[in-house]
Amino acid sequence: MLKIKNLHASVGDKEILRGISLSVNAGEVHAIMGPNGSGKSTLAQVLAGHPGFEVTKGSVEYEGQDLLELEPEERARAGVFLAFQYPVEIPGVSNAYFLRSAYNEIRKARGLEEVDPLEFLDVMDQKLKVVEMDEAMLNRSVNTGFSGGEKKRNEILQMAILEPKLAILDETDSGLDIDALRTVAHGVNQLRRPDNATIVVTHYQRLLNYIVPDYVHVLANGRIVRSGDKGLALELEAKGYDWLLEDAGVTAGAGA
């Protein structure tokens, strides 16, 4: 589904991704871990098409297409979804209106009929249950005045509605208490299917107790320094990141 080859990306003069290669197949869950500043959030944002990063080298192939050639909205319509680490507040735009607009864009791209507000309510009814969200949240402005947990749930709600092929969760666990974490993880698990894939970007192993990865990759200083199975995450939890960084010849905190 996704083939990343030797990906380099920069902000201004500063190179943040320094040669990432990674393949993700349908049905798989990949966890990307790493210390602060390792580039893991940058990787997530580059895949979604954030205009603040410039890809200087390498390629990303998604379902046979050159992903880097696509605008963010084209990526979304092709089935790529990024759950933001910091979901954006949009005062004045109701959540319901925003979600329906997005849903209809994605449906159009898939050759399906658009739905009207009433039909959309039916869609919402089921999806709200996935993330245990109250219907009242739909009438509020997008993320405006939401608590940290509400914002993250709202991201997963969007994911549930848009049914992406490739979901990238960027530190969705950060700032969540254990109940909210369980709810969010439960939502993500319910959405897993043999024909979609998930990339979970996280700093902590905790989330991976709930969303069990097939592969774990450790990023440091813009490169993948170790890949393994879920056992690697447990090892990191026990020993921290430093031993891996030393192995890879990187001093702790470099690139932070």
Partner 1 sequence: MTSTTIADEFETFATDGAGAEGPRWLRKARKAAMARFEQLGFPTPRDEDWHYTSVAPIAEAGFRVVGEPGGDVTEADLEPFLFGHPEWPRLVFVNGRYAEGLSHVRGLPAGVRVLDLAQAVEEEGDLVERHLTQVADDEARAFTALNGAFLRDGAVVHVAKEVESPLPVHLVFVADAAGANSAVHVRNLIVAERHAQVTVLESYVAVGDARYFTNAVTEVAVGEGATVRHYKVQRESERAFHVGTAEVTQARDSHYVSFSFATGGALSRTNVYTVLAGEGCGATLNGLYMVDGEQHVDHQTRIEHAQPNCFSREIYKGVLDGAARAVFNGKVYVHPIAQKTDGKQSNNNLLLSERAHVDTKPQLEIFADDVKCTHGATVGRIDETALFYMKSRGLDRETARHLLTYAFAADVLETIELEPVREGLEELARKRFIVDDQ
Which of 26, 55, 68, 109 forms a contact with partner 1 (CB under 8 A)?
Answer: 109
- Nearest distance, CB of residue 104 and partner 1, angstroms: 9
Query: Does the protein bind partner 1 through residue 93 (CB under 8 A)?
Result: yes
Distance CA 209, CA 40 (A): 20
SS3 9: strand
Alpha helices (runs of H) in 32-71, residue ranges in sequence order: 40-48
Count of beta carbons in the 10 Å neighbourhood of residue 185 = 23
Query: Does the protein bind partner 1 through residue 106 (CB under 8 A)?
Result: yes
Question: CA-CA distances (angstroms) from residue 226 to 146, 184, 238?
Answer: 37, 27, 16
Name the one residue in this structure whose structure tokens are 């909205």: 73
Per CB under 8 A, the segment of 99-107, 185-193, 224-232, 242-250 that binds partner 1 is 99-107
- Nearest distance, CB of residue 83 and partner 1, angstroms: 10
Closest CA to 154 of 121, 177, 178, 132: 132
Query: Does the protein bind partner 1 through residue 123 (CB under 8 A)?
Result: no
Query: Does the protein bind partner 1 through residue 158 (CB under 8 A)?
Result: yes
Query: Does the protein bind partner 1 through residue 67 (CB under 8 A)?
Result: no
Query: Does the protein bind partner 1 through residue 24 (CB under 8 A)?
Result: no
Decide whether 53 or 215 has the Cβ nearer to partner 1: 53
